Amino acid sequence: DTEVTQTPKHLVMGMTNKKSLKCEQHMGHRAMYWYKQKAKKPPELMFVYSYEKLSINESVPSRFSPECPNSSLLNLHLHALQPEDSALYLCASSQYRVSNQPQHFGDGTRLSIL
Amino acid sequence: AQKVTQAQTEISVVEKEDVTLDCVYETRDTTYYLFWYKQPPSGELVFLIRRNSFDEQNEISGRYSWNFQKSTSSFNFTITASQVVDSAVYFCALEGAQKLVFGQGTRLTINP
């Protein structure tokens, strides 16, 4: 079982809907990440939080809005998404946001935009 | 700029064969970290190994072994006596600018 829990596992939404993806870890990690992965491609970094503060935004469109309410929880709020946003969204955490820390990933949320 | 190249897009072998996944990287940093992750069909990326640039010792963990050669900028991964459960996509990654840079991945299929 993964130590990073993502919900929901699958999500289908229309372009006008608002939904949220949730990620939780209880390993005491202080860095958390959102990645987007298209089929047959590697994960692409979207956001990085360090000590609950946003430290990296990889020029992600504003229809994706991250939130880190506390050190264990990371949300990704979705609004007015486009069909090309359909992908696997992966959450990860690491002890700290430094180079030598391996990231631990969740199972992901498979998102389909109608 | 950081770059990771996994030239093998797909590999298919019969169970019990040995298989090596290649990884070549580019970086100008003197201190860096390399990783291998496994992604089964379920989607989760499973961390396999981390290697820092100052440690060129090869590592063995059960049927898995890793060969790090700084001179050729390579960090290859070998599975000995492969099993069907090893079927997955394997990513090599380089930590650069505090971000993970992934290779394109190698899809490994182990046939019974």
Confidence of residue A100 (pLDDT cuts 50, 70, 90): confident
Mean pLDDT of the region A2-22? 93
For residue A109, the surrounding DSSP H or E stretch is: strand A109-113
Q: Residue A2 pLDDT more than 80? A: no
Q: Which residues of B touch A42 (CB under 8 A)?
A: 91, 102-105
* Summary mean pLDDT of chain A: 93
Give the whole-angstrom CA distance, residue A92 versus residue A96. Answer: 12
Comparing alpha-carbon positions, the chain A residue that sits nearest to B36 is: A102
Residue A14, Cβ density class (10 Å: 0-12 exposed, 13-18 middle, ≥19 buried): exposed
Mean pLDDT of the region A90-102? 84
Closest CA to B90 of B51, B23, B39, B43: B39
Give the whole-angstrom CA distance, residue B105 versus residue A43. Answer: 10
Positions in chain B whose pLDDT score sits under 70: none
